[in-house]
Structure 1
Amino acid sequence: MAINCIGNACAGAAGTKLQPFFQDLYACLLGNVCAVDRTTQGTIMVASTTLDFADTAVRKVASSTLRSLQFLLAQDKSLVTNPLCDIIEIIYTFIFLHVNVQSYGVGQPLNLTPNRRNRLSQPSTNTASIVANRPLQMSWRTPLHKSSSLVTSSESELSDSASLTELSPRRQRDNAKIRINALLCLSAIANTAPKALYPHWQKFMPDTFSIFLDNNAFNGELPPLLKSDNQPYSLFTILLYDPMVTVRTAVCNTLVSILDGSKQYLSIAQESDKNKSSFTSLSENLGSIVRDVHQGLIYGLAKEQSKQVLTLMMHIATVLVENCSYERLSKSHLPSIYYAVADHWKEQNLHGPILKVIASVFSIYQDNLKELIQTDVIEQIILKAVSNQNEDEEAQVEVWRTCSTLTRCYFKDTMPMLWQKLIETTSNLPISAASLKFMESYASAIHESGEFTQQNVSWWQTVIENYLQKAATNEDAPSVRAAACDCFASMSRDIFETFHYRYQRLAVTLIFSLASDTDANVRAAACRALGVFVLFPSLREDPLFFSDMLKAILLQKDDKTILVRVRASWAIANLCDALVLESDTNAEFNLREYMSTTEWIQVLEVSTNGSLDNEKLRSNAVRAIGSLLRITPKEYYQNTRIMSLVKNAMQGLEKNIEAGSLKIRWNACHATSNMLLNPHFPIGFIPKEGGVYPWTHTLYQSLIHSLLNCKNFKVRINACLALTTPKQQDQYGDKLTLIVKSILEAWDVCQKNTEYKEIKYKQQLEQQIKHSLKCIQGWLPVQFKDKVSQILLDTCDS
């Protein structure tokens, strides 16, 4: 009871309050199942070999201790590397305690799930009476601390008498509880300290499972009972042969914890010819483990009968595929996984998990998967799932996600054939967030492929009329309305420009109607779609569209939802960029035709506030400031109120040039360069009045700071570009000498940098410095002329 109290106290968020006592509690708990021993690692605690597991009380103490340990390990990852003991070795001992031919090869507990395939035969009456009359003995084949590589099934056959005691249902239930709690401990370590567990993967998933299969599998099937073959046990031994559903469930959850998030570790796995060399590298070792995990799953999926465990196995398969890099692995793994899960398609309640696995398999491009798409996946899986009216909600969502994956990763092998077959199967596709996501994937694939055909235009017209129009007016499902906006945002410029005016107006009207939606996600999606549309040439030239878009976007400036403000900020930045494009291509461009002075002020205020808001807004906010001030006419800068707004905007720019993420700083430097392309922008000396504009010193100083102190070359390149963007000497004020000195200092620093990994960007910075010096060569102070001439002369010579 006291042990359980410790575990309960450490569980959940309340456990963090006990942080100062974790070490003591840890030692206390280990004392129940461990003994002090001198090992090669020094004097540490190891799993005790004197515990009498024939005693029910001992089994209960061990189970409760492991349960409490998993709560502790979940709270404090430092315990995993605590020198007090090798906790992973201790957990290994209890996971594989009584895993042997006697336990898994003689009989099964009385409460087994009846639908378990290859059901183990019940002990005969004679055997049962023998068990009842014999005294309880410890089933102790090997010492608890024995190395994993030496634990074999042959050793576990040394005691027939001990195996008979293990037929006791109560004994098996207690052993199962110990194993489950030990697995929970391993799962806790995998979640809290995965890097500490990586070196020990081979203990729990040895690369000898393929040998086990060679020795035991016949015609692609494993025997119903575990047989001895002198191979070390693994988690798959338990998954394949443990008669308890709860244990197999715990193994599945543990494997998910181990594999999830291991992409960086698994990325080095490589399968190669073992006869190639006597030396086995880490990547080849890991490749062997990955191969055996795939094989274990495939055989497990074929052998398992419990729907609960099958669902979890499919989850393991999904996580495994998502975390493996298959470039250096066998090409047979993914098709084998596909066939293993597809064999269960007749069981309708497994359709959701099956489709998840299929989607993950086909998210990876392999030539040998292409032939499966038409013959198997589309005909046997997707079309049947779409046409089945009795599919549960999960399967309905996953079938469209699978379609999206195929469209995204196998576009040329899938489209438009998949779309045509779907329409033939069901004349009108259901309108749901998942089906619209599939349409979005199709639209994005069309855009990325660069294929501009009348067939694609017709497809878009059909989608707008039959699906997006209904989805945008669906009052019951905000997710459907948001998905409709995402579809519109995937439209390419060429498609839109080819549309008849009717379709263009319909698309724009639907998006505007959703920009003021009651749901925040819909508003955010509508802002994103407007941000895409404003860059289309026909809309870019339309002052009415600009006016309507401004009104719609400015309504979101104070939205409480950060996502809406982020998307609105992005849309405003794109709007300002569109104005720059229009001013560059139209000689008669007049800003007032697109926005009034009041709207100009609102845009600058919103962008300035955004530059000081959440980090997610800042990169777009500074981009908007730069583009807006670039196209601002001279007379605006003669307005006192506008100049005070410009001062605030400069403070926002300066802050983001000097600090923030690299993306923010890069955008801030680029925005400054963009802004300074306006010959009328007020910076440097004030004409007629004398003196300098108040932000001249601070703005140039911020750029100099980034040029000399920022570690990122891209930021430094843009800072250097901005420093010499002004085309008039007066725009530098009294800072020209400081600017030239700083650029030359940046050149010297650049010459001293010899790191090979930075050579590409170093060369780009050198080119930018030379270009900047050329831009101001005519205004150089005397003391710098010789050095600048030498730098530029070297450029000519090279």
Structure 2
Amino acid sequence: MKPKKSWNPQSSSDCESSLVDFMSSDSDYSDSDGFVQDTETVRKAKVRVAAIVCIQDLCQADSKSFTTQWTLLLPTSDVLQPRKFEATLMTCLMYDPYLKARIASASALAVILDGPSSIFLQVAEYKGSSKFGSFTALSSSLGQILMQLHTGILHLIQRETHSRLLASLFKILTLLVASTPYSRMPGELLPTVITSLQARINEGFSFKNYQTGLLAAAVGCLTAALSTSPSLDVREMLLKETSTGFPETEKKSSVLFTLLQYSEQLTSPNICFESLQALKAVSHNYPNTMFAFWERVSTIVYGILMVATPEFPSRPWKGHTGDPVGFIGEKVITAAVKLLDECLRALSGFKGTEDLSDDKLTPFTSDCIRMKKVSSAPSYELDSKEFNNNEPKACHSGIEQWSEAIEKHLPLILRHTSAMVRGASVTCFAGITSHVFFSLVKEKQDFILSSLINASICDEVPSVRSAACRAIGVIACFPQVSQSAEIRDKFIRAVEINTRDPLVSVRITASWALANICDSIHSSIDDLPSQQSKESNVDSPSIASLTECALRLTKDGDKIKSNAVRALGNLSRFVNYTCLSGSHDKPMDRMRLSINTNSNEESTSSNDMKGSHGNASNSFRPGSMGDLCWLDRMVQAFISCVTTGNVKVQWNVCHALSNLFLNETLRLQDMDCILLLLLRDSSNFKIRIQAAAALAVPASIHDYGKSFPDVIQGVEHIIENLGSDQISAPSSFKYRVVLEKQLTSTMLHVLTLASSTDHEPLKDFLVKKAPFLEEWLKTLCSSLGETSTQSDVEDKSLGDQKKEMISKAIRSLIEVYKDRKHRSTVQKLEELDKSICTLQNPA
């Protein structure tokens, strides 16, 4: 690889001009190259090419092990300054006088960046050459490599004259962009990539036969750069473009103007498609930039859809230049519809499915909230309030834009001959918000609902039905929709039909929509003021249909099973089981359901349970299941899913049991055992967190039943030994603190109830563990003191709540230790309780 003398960059550029018409096939190279007379020089060139090919083969054979050689093969110093005896793949690509060696270098670089080992580049961090000492960390070396690769590739893209090599450069840059963590690189790097590509696109390509292909590759590269994690520098660059209004003198330097211009070139489907993809990436990552372009985007999309009306049948995309405009490929149409979808989401502020969760956060877990990233929602992280406040209110709400889309665009594509186009059009409805939906006139609301129901039931293509089910799952979470029995029943029927589809992908989205419908029903019941209105709202055969459907889906695959368990959890929350005795309704007390999964020892049947209450009659109120057997089957389904389901299924079981515990008409004691087992034995921290949260749901000792001593002892044992837990996966580290805080909250809750117990062995246990509990409570109080000196004023209420929880637990333990004549511990705890009051709240 190391030549005896350094290459001359000037000779490289001289050769480039003579290689324009060089044959692009590797097989055409021979010793008789027209311009090569020196046989020794040709032989050395062939050796270099063979060596590069060997490097490429080694990388393909074991790319992971090959990463140790990156610092030898990839540049760490300025690639624009060739150095003697420094040969890397990049110097070969830039300065080798022979095209064959340069093409081989490009191919090897693409293999390195395209392999699974490229994931290692995610740890790269650029610190600048001046910050290096005697030791250079791997992250810094990788940062230097990425920086020099960017410099060299962008330099070549601006100057390369050979069409095949230029196409390879675009491929390398696309892979390089996908592998680079720009948040840890210089802020100007990503904007430089974008502006360099835009300048090269505007410059054009002189190769008549390859012009369209190279232009499409360049725009595709631009799409990759705009699709990477949003950059504040890129955002500012794009907003500056939008603020200028595109005066004639600045059009050529505008990235957005270039993309809008090429997206209108219907005679070049490749270029049009790539431009639409790039605009979609802009709308997704930089949604505020689209406010200034809605009219232009709407016009472009409408123009494409009008050309592709049913009288001009759509056909698969071929990508040939000069296709008749009437025969626009379905890929171009689909890209246009997806751009429309992304713009509507950006304009209406779509942030994902409506959150109906009513999970109560305790003071100790409230600061552990992790923002959920919704991939289908635009990225609003970089959008400033200042920019938002300057925009018209109507523009931000998206109402006008949605009305326009329903009137102009969607009627043209909902019944399109292409299933791909129909699926994309139905997916648009999955991005609407409740504010926009209920701001539309009733005719437009009905249009959306009827389109979804028809697509989910009547369309022959599974992908379209799946897309319709996803949209139904989104709209079903709108509060006003859940209160309409007519709409809800139509949604239930459509979803239930699709849960029986032979295709797994359809059943997954249908089960997700089913769970959302159940979540919406349970949320609407909690919001209603009176028992009478609750009964009228849910007393429907649809509830029975939902229950049977969810129970059936618990026997499906894990992705479907997790949604089914979530649905059952929501249903179990509002099931009312009462034992009628005379004129008084009493909750079903101490209902025991065996957790033995053996078929011969399954839980008590509904007949046995009915018989155990003599002549008392059983009835269900809101969401009544009509028969206790259904509740029995629910619990057995949870037990089965815990033992056979994956991590997500088990997490949903824990959450479902939380809902079951919140049902005031039921007292299920044995379910605590499942949660304790998961809390103790599961290797997944998220499951353990949810299990600990579920164990804190029962509000009284009576609700815990006979399992209360087991819960206290189990949680105490886990807290005491938490430090010795082995973390199997690196991803679990971030959940360790959350688990500790949830266990703290759960332990304080059950200790608060401990003074009410008459279970003597439990009191003996608490006396035995007095030293640990005293030290643990002291540590909690110390953490409050530390927090109070660092917290903001607005955290005062949170701090007070933490103090109250600790104080209640301490006072409960004091009662227990007084009963056991444990005076020394009582005295220490009383002093600790007094010290809590002296802790200063943040000023």
TM over 0.5: yes
Q: Deviation of residue 305 (structure 1)?
A: 2.5
Q: What SS is found at the alignment partner of 2:498?
A: coil
| Equivalent residue in structure 2 for 1:621, among 564, 569, 582 | 564
| Equivalent residue in structure 2 for 1:271, among 126, 135, 144 | 126
After superposing the two structures, state which structure 1 stretch, 567-576 or 278-287, moved more: 278-287
1:523 aligns with 2:465: yes
For 1:764, the equivalent position in structure 2 comes to 742
For 1:295, the equivalent position in structure 2 comes to 151
- Tell me the number of residue pairs that the alignment of Structure 1 and Structure 2 aligns: 629
Q: What SS is found at the alignment partner of 1:680?
A: coil
Q: 1:443 to 1:263 in 2, by over 3 A?
A: farther
| Equivalent residue in structure 1 for 2:345, among 444, 450, 456 | 444
1:383 aligns with 2:264: no
Q: Deviation of residue 670 (structure 1)?
A: 1.0
1:606 aligns with 2:549: yes
Distance 1:538 1:530 in 2: 14
Residues 495-536 of structure 1, C-alpha deviation per residue, up to 9 Å, x if partnerless? 112111111111111111111221111111111111111111
Letter in 1 for 2:39: T
Residues 275-323 of structure 1, C-alpha deviation per residue, up to 9 Å, x if partnerless? 3454352233222222211121012213322333222211211111111
Letter in 1 for 2:144: S
Q: 1:664 to 1:208 in 2, by over 3 A?
A: same
After superposing the two structures, state which structure 1 stretch, 294-303 or 229-238, moved more: 229-238
Contact in 2 for aligned 1:608/1:621 (Cα 8 Å): yes
Letter in 2 for 1:416: F
Q: What SS is found at the alignment partner of 2:438?
A: helix
Residues 411-432 of structure 1, C-alpha deviation per residue, up to 9 Å, x if partnerless? 22x1211223334667645482
For 1:419, the equivalent position in structure 2 comes to 294
For 1:631, the equivalent position in structure 2 comes to 574
After superposing the two structures, state which structure 1 stretch, 334-343 or 788-797, moved more: 788-797
Q: What SS is found at the alignment partner of 1:356?
A: helix
For 2:687, the equivalent position in structure 1 comes to 715
Distance 2:19 2:167 in 1: 18
1:371 aligns with 2:312: no
| Equivalent residue in structure 1 for 2:50, among 174, 178, 183 | 178
The 5 Å alignment of 1:399-414 reads: 399-412=275-288, 414=289
Q: 1:321 to 1:478 in 2, by over 3 A?
A: same
For 1:154, the equivalent position in structure 2 comes to none
Contact in 2 for aligned 1:570/1:620 (Cα 8 Å): yes
Contact in 1 for aligned 2:692/2:746 (Cα 8 Å): yes
Contact in 1 for aligned 2:573/2:659 (Cα 8 Å): yes
Q: What SS is found at the alignment partner of 1:515?
A: helix
| Equivalent residue in structure 2 for 1:255, among 89, 109, 124 | 109
Contact in 1 for aligned 2:264/2:272 (Cα 8 Å): no
Distance 1:712 1:265 in 2: 25
Contact in 2 for aligned 1:527/1:568 (Cα 8 Å): yes
Q: Deviation of residue 763 (structure 1)?
A: 2.2
Q: Deviation of residue 753 (structure 1)?
A: 6.7
Q: Deviation of residue 387 (structure 1)?
A: 2.0
Q: Deviation of residue 553 (structure 1)?
A: 0.5
For 1:197, the equivalent position in structure 2 comes to 66
Distance 1:352 1:322 in 2: 18
Contact in 1 for aligned 2:715/2:743 (Cα 8 Å): no
Distance 2:496 2:285 in 1: 38
Letter in 2 for 1:400: L
Question: When the two structures are superposed, what TM-score results if normalisation uses the length of structure 1?
Answer: 0.70
Contact in 2 for aligned 1:240/1:304 (Cα 8 Å): no
Contact in 2 for aligned 1:314/1:354 (Cα 8 Å): yes
Q: What SS is found at the alignment partner of 1:521?
A: helix
| Equivalent residue in structure 1 for 2:635, among 637, 644, 650 | 650
For 1:583, the equivalent position in structure 2 comes to 525
Q: What SS is found at the alignment partner of 1:415?
A: helix
Q: What SS is found at the alignment partner of 1:498?
A: coil
1:453 aligns with 2:393: yes
Distance 2:225 2:69 in 1: 27
1:114 aligns with 2:15: no
Distance 1:101 1:501 in 2: 73
For 1:207, the equivalent position in structure 2 comes to 76
Distance 1:603 1:723 in 2: 27
Residues 165-224 of structure 1, C-alpha deviation per residue, up to 9 Å, x if partnerless? 1366xx5896577356424414414xx432x122211221132343xx236xxxxxxxxx
Distance 1:591 1:253 in 2: 69
Question: When the two structures are superposed, what TM-score results if normalisation uses the length of structure 2?
Answer: 0.67
1:596 aligns with 2:545: no
For 2:602, the equivalent position in structure 1 comes to none
The 5 Å alignment of 1:90-105 reads: 93=1, 101=7
Q: What SS is found at the alignment partner of 1:305?
A: coil
For 1:513, the equivalent position in structure 2 comes to 454
Residues 524-561 of structure 1, C-alpha deviation per residue, up to 9 Å, x if partnerless? 11111111111112211100011101110010122122
1:333 aligns with 2:189: yes
1:319 aligns with 2:175: yes
Q: What SS is found at the alignment partner of 1:518?
A: coil
Residues 656-710 of structure 1, C-alpha deviation per residue, up to 9 Å, x if partnerless? 34564433222211111102222233x55xxxxxxxxxxx54x332122112222
The 5 Å alignment of 1:66-85 reads: none
Q: Deviation of residue 585 (structure 1)?
A: 1.1
Letter in 1 for 2:575: T
Q: Deviation of residue 590 (structure 1)?
A: 4.0
Q: Deviation of residue 734 (structure 1)?
A: 4.4
Contact in 1 for aligned 2:519/2:567 (Cα 8 Å): yes
| Equivalent residue in structure 2 for 1:166, among 40, 48, 61 | 40
For 1:665, the equivalent position in structure 2 comes to 650
Q: Deviation of residue 611 (structure 1)?
A: 2.6
Q: Deviation of residue 570 (structure 1)?
A: 0.9
Letter in 1 for 2:394: Q
Contact in 2 for aligned 1:166/1:172 (Cα 8 Å): yes
Distance 1:245 1:167 in 2: 14
Q: Deviation of residue 640 (structure 1)?
A: 10
1:538 aligns with 2:480: yes
Letter in 2 for 1:193: S
Letter in 1 for 2:443: R
For 1:743, the equivalent position in structure 2 comes to 715
For 1:308, the equivalent position in structure 2 comes to 164
Residues 451-500 of structure 1, C-alpha deviation per residue, up to 9 Å, x if partnerless? 793232101111122122322221x2112121122211111111112111
Contact in 1 for aligned 2:219/2:275 (Cα 8 Å): yes
Contact in 1 for aligned 2:226/2:281 (Cα 8 Å): yes
**RMSD value over aligned CA atoms?**
3.9
For 1:559, the equivalent position in structure 2 comes to 501
Distance 2:512 2:124 in 1: 40
Q: Deviation of residue 776 (structure 1)?
A: 6.7
Letter in 2 for 1:772: V
Distance 2:565 2:33 in 1: 83
Distance 2:300 2:35 in 1: 59
Q: What SS is found at the alignment partner of 2:350?
A: helix
Q: Percent identity?
A: 22
Letter in 1 for 2:81: D
For 1:494, the equivalent position in structure 2 comes to 435
Distance 1:605 1:481 in 2: 31
Q: 1:249 to 1:377 in 2, by over 3 A?
A: farther
Letter in 1 for 2:629: S
Q: Deviation of residue 595 (structure 1)?
A: 6.4
Distance 2:712 2:234 in 1: 60
Q: 1:126 to 1:235 in 2, by over 3 A?
A: closer
Contact in 2 for aligned 1:378/1:418 (Cα 8 Å): no
Contact in 2 for aligned 1:338/1:361 (Cα 8 Å): yes
Distance 2:216 2:183 in 1: 28
Distance 2:35 2:345 in 1: 67
Distance 1:248 1:585 in 2: 69
List alignment gaps of at least 5 residues for structure 2: 25-29, 206-211, 243-249, 309-332, 352-379, 578-617, 728-732, 778-808, 811-828, 837-843
